[in-house]
Amino acid sequence: MERRRIVRVPASSANLGPGFDVLAAALALHVEVEVVETGRFAVETDLDIARDRRNLCVRAFERLHPSDRFTFRIRSQIPLSGGLGSSAAAIVAGLVAADHLFELDADVFGLACEVEGHPDNVAAALYGGVVVCGAGGAVARVDPPTGLEGLLVVPHTAVRTAQARAALPAEVPLADAVHNVACTALLTLGLARGDWDLVGRGLDDRLHEPYRAHLYPRSAELVRDARSLGALGATISGAGPTVLVWTHYEQTAAVAERLRERTAGWAQLLRVPFETQGADVRALV
């Protein structure tokens, strides 16, 4: 009997404003990967991704077991560019599938970090919720508070992650570093308490968003204007150019209407809940 697994993994938004390379949140857009022991290798997908062993999901799977006898059927709601953790989701899906198929009890998080190169998106994809990534592979998570919602503004024009990384300075003023430490503390405390005022006050960044604003000026303008549109605030998702607009559920519809006017013609608007569930795997008979 052929072995089959379906793995479902959420998208993620990293940095969350001040928490550069430290904070991330899972979002309710998902990649779904069905891995079937068909006796032959194949990647079946309608997505514009590699269909050979360069495929990220396959590469991750092969960190734990050869893929020669397996077919990978890949579907995804996650935009492939824009800073929504599509690569982290694919990596986690491949590792979780192999780990579950062969009952390996592997260090999926550690391996995923090695493949991806950084822990924030990986942690959110694997564990769900809002995650804090610390030194030595430490990860803490909290469930997003009830009533917190997200609106995603996904520009039609992508920005390469390497270009966004290259825009960052090697050093920053001490005052800006202190500002970000304070905002990160306010944000995490606000999320843990469900304190909307602290969440809104904690979304401000000085370490990466200002230095990348020239790469996506319309996204940067939305971040600056989010509070005037009725939102708690907004952050650049990962390296950008996608914007995560943070709202309380009572505000979301009105904020979405204003955003539709602002983004017409250059971006897609998605209403996406924060996701408490991380990677999930099912065996199929």
Ordered DSSP codes for 213-247: GGGSHHHHHHHHHGGGGTSSEEEE-TTSS-EEEEE
87 labelled ligand-binding:
yes
Residue 167 per-residue DSSP state: T
Q: Where are the alpha helices (DSSP H) in 82-207?
A: 86-101, 108-116, 120-127, 161-166, 174-193, 196-201
What count of Cα atoms within 13 Å lies in the side-chain half-sphere of residue 271? 14
Q: Minimal CA–CA distance to 277: which of 150, 143, 169?
A: 143
80 labelled ligand-binding:
yes
101 labelled ligand-binding:
no
237 labelled ligand-binding:
no
85 labelled ligand-binding:
yes
Residue 181 CA to residue 258 CA, distance in Å, equals 31
83 labelled ligand-binding:
yes
81 labelled ligand-binding:
yes
Instruction: State the binding site for ATP.
Output: 79-89
Instruction: State the binding site.
Output: 79-89
